[in-house]
A and B are shown apart, each in its own frame.
Chain A
Amino acid sequence: MTRETIALKIKRQDAPGAKPYWNVFKLPSLPHANVISCLQEIQRNPVTADGKTVTPVTWDCNCLEEVCGSCTMRINGRVRQACTALVDILEDPIVLEPMSKFPVVRDLQVDRSRMFENLRKIKGWIEIDGSYDIGEGPVFPEKIREKAYALSQCMTCGCCLEACPQFTLTNDFMGAATFSQVRYFNLHPTGAMNKEERLEAVMKSGGIADCGNAQVCVEVCPKKIPLTESIAEIGRETTLQLLKNLVLK
């Protein structure tokens, strides 16, 4: 598609809690441009389509190859990473909005710390430190490694939560990414040593039982992680854990 210029309609917000407003920018359409390179162009020359000089638009980005998740935003209404949003195949004007389920820091920057706090709650790591040597990890069966690899690709970008109808700015729902990480760390033979703690962390308010199975998470996941399978699997394990707690504890 050859276009002379491309318009970017950007939802802006000067500070947390401030009133959002819109700016439209017109840029020359360059081949192979992506949304990040357009934002960089605006940074160099922050003049709107009606000739007003404004503060440059802020956004987050880091890896520029869709593995860090930090440039996640709503592009033409759909949540995705800006670095892999190629301008040539996007509809004009390109509408950029920050994710709506996380508090806005400024413009397209949002604060995703809720996701990281949830990872802390579920012990999203493998415990190897201690006062004694726990030895080498057991051998990892290939079938399980394959499964774990798919889950390991989660970059905590927040797409699954942005698209989830059960996840809102104000409730305490943990969401697909967190449940999938419970499964991921429990799949690991050494990680499984903390299996019960992880399961019990999602058997609380905002946990796995709050999932409404709308399954939009799996549709929008840029890494094609089998999130709904993880949710059902954690549903199964927490159900068994509940029965175990009822009769054994």
Chain B
Amino acid sequence: MSKLTKEDLHFFLLKLHSLTGIVPIGIFLAFHLAINSLRTVGVHQYQFSIDLINNLPFLFGIEVLFIYVPLLLHSALGFYVTFAGRMNVRRYPYYRNWMYTLQRITGAIVFAFLVYHMGTTVVPKIYYGKELFDAAPFLIDAMNREFQTWGGRILYLAGIFSAAFHFANGLWGFCVSWGMIVGPSAQRNASVVFLLFGLVLGLLGAATVVEFSLHPVPVAPSFTG
């Protein structure tokens, strides 16, 4: 490719915006919600999954490269495109315009939620250094406390369902803007399929919240940090 101009970069970055929403962020979200729902099967399965992930080689590098950087990039570009436009769903209340509006609103909700969620889970891990404490008891204890109050439950349910919707509808947007679904009926059918997929993801997350709320796991976090 010839020398990248500022104009080319704009196009390239917006393409990257829609791509990072699917790979890796969307894929991560789907696995995150699915793996966490192991909690509904049993504490051991849940703890095993946490330990498995936490003992991956080069974990910090993987997290930075495949989660933090894409997430920051996707968020920054997301706020940029949101503020480049002006929502008008009250004047033109069509289905897809609602989806356009909700996509932007849920994006902002998820961003705010992630600041809290990562601040209470990832930041302590990085701050104290993961070798100084056991991830599983620490995270399970943190979640136990979150789901003892309605505030925590509602916060997490809002975050989970916003993320699930944002991913499902974003998957649709990705397929349209990359030209994978073109005709009106293809677009309508895909919209139904993707939203059902989002609902399933949301319910997986909700099941984990319910399980934690009903049966908190007694743990004593061994905290040497």
Q: A residues engaging B (CB < 8 A)?
A: 77-78, 163, 165-168, 171, 173, 203-205, 207-216, 219-220, 226, 228-229, 231-240, 242, 245-246, 249
Contacts and interface: CB of A to CB of B under 8 A. Distances in A.
Given A77-B91, A204-B11, A165 B85 contact: yes
B1 interface: yes
B122 interface: no
B32 interface: no
Contacts of B99: 213-214
Interface in B60-101: 81, 84-89, 91-92, 94, 96-97, 99-101
Contacts of B11: 203-205, 207, 209, 238, 242
A112 B216 CA distance: 63
Given A77-B91, A213-B100, A216-B97, A168 B6 contact: no
Given A78-B91, A204-B7, A215-B97, 12 more contacts: A77-B91, A163-B91, A165-B86, A171-B84, A173-B85, A213-B172, A228-B187, A229-B183, A232-B179, A236-B179, A239-B15, A242-B15
Contacts of A210: 14, 81, 84
Nearest to A231: B176
A213 B103 CA distance: 11
Interface string B93-118: 01011011101000000000000000
B86 to A, nearest CB: 5
B180 A165 contact: no
A163 B88 contact: yes
B7 A168 contact: no
A122 to B, nearest CB: 14
Contacts of B12: 242
Contacts of B179: 232-240
Nearest to B17: A209
9 contacts: A163-B92, A209-B18, A212-B81, A213-B177, A214-B97, A215-B97, A219-B94, A229-B183, A236-B182
Contacts of A249: 1-2
B184 interface: yes
A205 B6 contact: yes
A211 B18 CA distance: 11
A213 B173 contact: yes
B180 A229 contact: no
Contacts of A171: 84-85
A214 B96 CA distance: 5
A245 B87 CA distance: 34
Interface in B7-42: 7-8, 10-12, 14-15, 18
A215 B96 contact: yes
Nearest to B88: A165
Q: Which of B10, B87, B89 has most A Cβ within 10 Å?
A: B10
B128 interface: no
A128 to B, nearest CB: 29
A213 B176 contact: yes
B100 A165 contact: yes
B181 interface: yes
B48 interface: no
A163 B157 CA distance: 34
B223 interface: no
A166 B94 contact: no
Nearest to B81: A212
B96 A232 contact: no
Given A215-B96, A216-B97, A233 B182 contact: yes
A171 B80 CA distance: 12
Nearest to A77: B91
A239 B179 CA distance: 7
Nearest to B103: A212
A240 B180 CA distance: 11
A229 B96 contact: no
Given A205-B6, A216-B97, A249-B2, A166 B177 contact: no
B94 A216 contact: yes
A242 B11 CA distance: 10
Contacts of A211: 177
